[in-house]
Each structure stands twice: as C-alpha cells, then as structure tokens.
Amino acid sequence: MNQKLSFALLLALFAGCRGIDVSAMHDPKVDFSTIHTFTWLAPLSDSETLVRDQQVLNVVARELTARGLKKVDSGADVQVAVHRTLAGSLNTKGVGYEIRDGRLGTYELQEGTLVVDLVSPSTRHNVWRGTAHGVFRADMLPAEREALLTDVVRDMLADFPPSK
C-alpha cells in the first residue's frame, strides 16, 4: 500500500472514530428562538484556559453563523467563551497506525478538552455549553487540525439551537 493511500485511510479512520467524546447541555428555561447575535466574552487576564488561537475561534464563529447567529461587536444576545486544556503528550505504538517503510510508526498523542460556553450578558450565567474531550494526534497539519476542529464543533452544535 503506498504512503498516500495509507495516509488517506488513516485520516478516514481517525475522522470516523477520532476518540473524542462530544456533548452539549443547555438551560431549559432559555428561549433560544430569541438568540440571534453573539460576541466574544472579554477574557479575564488570569484565565489560562481561554482560547486565543484564531483558528479555533474562526471555526467556532463559522459554525455559530451556520446555525443562524450573527457576530456583532456589541449588544449581542449571547457572549461566547472558548476554553481548552491540553494535557501532556504520550508516545504510542499501536495497531491501526500508518506503516512507514514496513514499520509501525510512533506517534505523539495529546489529550485535551475543548469547552464552548454561550453566556447571557444580563445574568452572566451559561445558557449553553458544548464540551469535547479526547485524544488526538499532536503532529497534525494545519488543514487536518482545522478539519478535526470543524467536525468536533459541528458535533457540539448538532442540536443547536435547542428546542423547547
């Protein structure tokens, strides 16, 4: 099997069973039909987990926009905060990874959590939260990383806006 084909199969396998658990929850008292706009929640200076990575923020904004929310500079219906944690990395050898030159490749994996919060500007309480937690390859190319982020955020927002 040539390298390009085995890489494509690996990506397909990785995308299908990426080892990332995604969930979402919301405040059942909130009428999401009244939420049409969003802005970013101003970061707290001591927040170590708040995402400042523009690629992640762009994916979240794009997926919220695809669900009918419009990004505004002020006066938004909800404020969005994106947090993540990354826990070390581990080297692993295992069945299912790409074989290079007849050898099983060694890959660095990283474990992480991504949290997307929609916060009411008036009450400062979460009205919706999506979380993703799992293991992913640390050596992903930028395009692969964006594709994975897009899949994860789409999964989070699959049932957004929630119905009453």
**Sign of the dihedral through C-alpha 128, 133, 139, 144:** negative
- Whether 35 is covered by a domain: the verdict is yes
pLDDT at 92: 53
pLDDT at 14: 42
Are residues 88 and 111 in contact, defined by beta-carbon separation less than 8 angstroms? yes
Count of structural domains within the chain = 1
pLDDT at 21: 94
Give the contacts of 133 (CB within 8 A, at least 6 positions apart). Answer: 20, 21, 111, 112, 113, 114
pLDDT at 134: 87
Give the pTM.
0.77
**Sign of the dihedral through C-alpha 138, 141, 144, 145:** positive
- Whether 162 is covered by a domain: the verdict is no
- Whether 164 is covered by a domain: the verdict is no
pLDDT at 124: 92
Of 141, 115, 110, which Cα lies nearest the Cα of 128? 115
- 73: domain CATH number is 3.30.160
- Whether 124 is covered by a domain: the verdict is yes
Instruction: Report the distance separating Cα 69 and Cα 78, nearest Å.
Output: 10
Range of the domain at 133: 3-156
For the chain, state the CA radius of gyration: 18
Q: Going from the first residue of the chain to its last (164 residues), give the mean pLDDT of each consecutive group of 10, the final group possibly shorter.
A: 38 49 96 96 69 85 97 96 77 51 68 92 95 82 89 95 83
pLDDT at 16: 38
pLDDT at 19: 77
- Whether 163 is covered by a domain: the verdict is no
